[in-house]
Structure 1
Amino acid sequence: MTQARSRIVPPADRGYAPDAEDLAALDAWFRRYDAYAAAGDVAGTADMALFPLNTVTDDSSGEGSARQLDREEYLRVMGGALGDPGDLTMNSTRTPYLLTPGLAVVFTEAEFTVDGRSQRVRYADVLVRTGGEWRFQTMVQGGWGDQAA
């Protein structure tokens, strides 16, 4: 007896290649986000998100975790990280990968200097274009798990 099988086939990859306008729009989006972050304007950064927001991290033992934040929780969590920026400077190098005109994964290598103390970080964001605007929907960065517990 033959069993019927169903198969899900992913859509064909159209091989999307962003143009200069696509890249400029992402660059402008990140400049705006960075300006809010540098000013400690957590509500401004929240206005740029698509909630619920996914966060992915790990802790000092290497145990990974993921959770979703609504706007209120995001404001609380990020308020602790951005709320009092002190003497903050940020230098970032971003590498965007546009999967389609409306989906992007952006890898960032950055150096943050707060009150004269510097640290390097790497993280990734997933951005979704909705309503004609980019919104960040997923934040991925190691090392936040101990603080979230």
Structure 2
Amino acid sequence: MSGVPGSGAGFVPTDEDVAGVLDWFARWDALAVAKDVEAMAGMALFPVNAVTDGAAELWDRERFLKDMAAQLGDGDVRMESVRTPVFVNAGLVFVITDATITVGDFSQVVRYGDLLVKVAGEWRFQTMVQGGW
């Protein structure tokens, strides 16, 4: 396969590119802690791909709201995350997250990935990948 102009081959993100993605996730995490799944849905590009071991589904907004609310549960939510963005090009970034998520008294260490797509200059969450769902 030959290189396609504009495909992102050789793209090197700037510090500003990386900071923009990490800022996006800071907003996302704050909304998750606040359990504001409506605002989280506003940061998504539907349908959202939900991928796990041997399975993939497309979630519409309604399914996203239902499942995200269930995942966040009833207790207080705390998140500690380290994120590693890998840019495909200026408009696509896959982000690996290593996190400890605590809901109430239950803590879980997780690794997951998210694909963000830039739409009209704004990052939108489009695909989530995590083993063991």
| TM-score, structure 1 as length reference | 0.82
Aligned partner of 1:123 in structure 2 is: 112
Report which of the two has the higher share of strand. 2
**Matched AA of 2:66:** R
**Matched AA of 1:51:** F
State the Cα distance separating 1:9 from its structure 2 match: 4.8
Contact kept, 8 Å, 1:42 with 1:83, in 2: the verdict is no
Unaligned runs of 5+ in 2: none
Instruction: Give identity over the alignment, percent.
Output: 53
Aligned partner of 2:97 in structure 1 is: 108
Classify the secondary structure of the residue corresponding to 1:91. strand
Unaligned runs of 5+ in 1: 1-7, 59-63, 145-149
CA-to-aligned-CA distance 1:28-78 (integer Å, 9 cap, x gap): 1000000000111111111000001101013xxxxx100101111111111
Correspondence 1:74 to 2:74: no
* 1:98 paired residue among 54, 75, 87: 87
- C-alpha RMSD of matched pairs (Å): 1.5
The number of equivalent residue pairs is 131
| TM-score, structure 2 as length reference | 0.92
Q: If you compute each CA radius of gyration, which structure gives the higher value, 1 or 2? A: 1
Aligned partner of 1:44 in structure 2 is: 39
Aligned partner of 2:4 in structure 1 is: 11
Structure 1 Cα separation of the partners of residues 16 and 3 of structure 2? 28
Correspondence 1:133 to 2:122: yes
Contact kept, 8 Å, 2:3 with 2:9, in 1: the verdict is no
* 1:56 paired residue among 51, 60, 80: 51
